[in-house]
Structure 1
Amino acid sequence: MSISPQVLRGDLHDKLVRDQLSHWYRGHALVRLKEKTNRYAKQLGVSPASVGVKEYKSRWGGCHSDGRIYYNWKVIIAPHSIVDYVVVHELCHLVHQDHSKKFWRLLGTILPDYAERKEWLKVNGRGLRG
């Protein structure tokens, strides 16, 4: 079975468009996530060592013990309140490296409705991952 040149061009075009959109979203995500991180870090009195974006298969972010925070760039597609939840969640890990009661209590001081946001992400997050 041979593939026609028109189909191949269509597939290549689709890949190019996907790659360009991904590149734009990654750049946009980094800018917005840094802004949100800086705003909430001041509220929490923490200072991340760095902020970056990655593509995770099953995570929305990660906080390393040395203070580096990474976010899944695809979270930027979510509603602002959900992005805020992910940002505050990772920043709280700068204080508590676990999901203890103290961690959730701290998160609740910034986002009292965090449980609803967490549930939204659990229910709808798969659709953001593509």
Structure 2
Amino acid sequence: MADESYDVMVIGTSQGGRFLPIDLAKAGRKVALVERGHLGGVCVNSGCTPTKTMVASARAARQARRGAEYGVRTGPVSVDLAAVRERKRAMVAGARENYASRLPQDGLDLVEGEARFTGPKTVEIALPGGGTRDRGR
């Protein structure tokens, strides 16, 4: 595979690297995002998004159980943990899909693989299916 050059490479697609690449692309830079796992990093995949989704379900159950305190009568409240987990998975998948769908319109190239520096301005990317790509300036 041919070597490719970029003005900027962002390794990892976590929250910390979300807006700067877009601004750089809008400023005319050729920008690549390199991701070895799922788009969105820890926050989207195993931190903020799934945690907040599960907490929202717990909060809804708690409020339903306290309904009588507010003059609302409900029947017995139970939690379907499998449904809670499925909702969480759907929220995470939706966040990843939203991230991926915006890349082309934001002017960003996504390269799936694991990056490592091989020189001052050169990165080698180990591709998931085998092989490598060299990227640099």
- TM-score by structure 2 length? 0.28
Higher strand share: 2
- TM-score by structure 1 length? 0.30
Structure with the greater alpha carbon radius of gyration: 2
Higher helix share: 1
